[in-house]
Amino acid sequence: MEVWSIVVAAGSGRRFGGPKQLVELAGRRVVDRSVDAMARVSAGVVLVGAADQLADLTTSGADRIVAGGATRSASVRAGLDVLPESATHVLVHDAARPLVPEAVCDRVVAALVDGADGVVPVVPVTDSLRSVDGVPVDRARLLAVQTPQGFRLDALRAGHAGDADATDDATLVSGLGGDVRHVDGDPVNLKITGPDDVRIAEVLLDD
């Protein structure tokens, strides 16, 4: 078993208002924190960046850097294309989740060791929920999905074979009947989405 990571950082940060992966959190860039977190739990890291930011990413510590695509799924596929032959499993992580605790990664890898085709870290939804037309939604039926998601490499490659598009890779693998398991995520593993998330992340880093 050889576990590699793909860190996807090729988004445009529309909701943030710019390239959030290059923003500094307590003196260190979001993307560098994410690459470092994945390097600690894998044999190597492929970083997928926007074509015009590749020069900014050379100091990230990633083993391989490649240009992404127009959608997150296309960026994951760009990463899959440059994994070494020796890789058997892959962790796909959003660069926008720089605070991922090592324990979350460890739980994902442990489920892969145990034979899962795919592994998704999840957290309970804490807010009360309503649909857009005002119907209450039972939050006990819902889970919020985080990254890194872990995969047997051939299962993820099969999921991506049809140039499919999905905001999360596990959907592609379970769609093919793969054994996709849940493990506990962590509320600390927030995704930097809007500018307020930088302030929240800095508070968490200060703890």
Distance of CA 70 to the CA centre of its chain: 17
Q: CA–CA separation, 156 vs 159, rounded Å? A: 5
- Give dist(CA 36, CA 20) in Å, integer: 17
Binds 12, which of ligand CTP, Mg ion, none (CB < 5 to 8 A, cut-off by type)?
Answer: ligand CTP
Which one of Mg ion, ligand CTP, none interacts with residue 13, CB within 5 to 8 A by kind?
Answer: ligand CTP
Q: Confirm or reject binding of residue 200 to ligand CTP (CB under 6 A).
A: no
Residues 43-82: x where in contact with ligand CTP by CB under 6 A, - otherwise, as a string: -----x-------------------xxxxx--x-------
Q: Give the range of 4-12, 19-27, 55-63, 79-87 binding Mg ion by CB under 5 A.
A: 4-12
Residue whose structure tokens are 């078993």: 1
Q: Which of ligand CTP, Mg ion, none interacts with 58 (beta carbon under 5 to 8 A by kind)?
A: none
The SS3 call for residue 23 is coil
CA 62/CA 82 separation, integer angstroms = 13
Q: Cβ distance 97 to 190 under 8 Å?
A: yes
Residues that bind ligand CTP (CB under 6 A): 8-16, 21, 48, 68-72, 75, 94-96, 191, 193
